[in-house]
Amino acid sequence: LRAGAPASALLRPEAVRAHPGGLPARVAERVYLGELVAVRLTLASGHELWSRRLASEWSGRDVVAVGWDASAISILPDAPLES
């Protein structure tokens, strides 16, 4: 990846967790999967991401602080758009 080149960050949903002092996020959707819950989160920037954790790890609140370990992020070069 060349410095300044367009890129995207890949973050697996199991890496995103409630984290005191983290980024504020609004819970847009909850999908219960037995003992797991998938939570669609909207950040203040408008970006959306998913978290998939044990249901007991998420509160019923609509606004939460979220975070992840930096090592969980993969940076991928953006593919050129084809016409």
pLDDT in tens, 29-71: 999 999 999 999 999 999 999 999 998 888 788 999 999 999 9
pTM for the predicted model, two decimal places:
0.80
* pLDDT(1) > 70: yes
* pLDDT(83) > 70: no
C-alpha–C-alpha distance, residues 8 and 33, integer Å: 28
In the chain, how long is the greatest CA-to-CA distance?
46
Among candidates 28, 22, 69, which has minimal Cα distance to 49? 28
Look at residue 28 in the predicted model and tell me its pLDDT.
95
* pLDDT(80) > 90: no
Contacts of 80 (CB under 8 A, 6+ apart): none
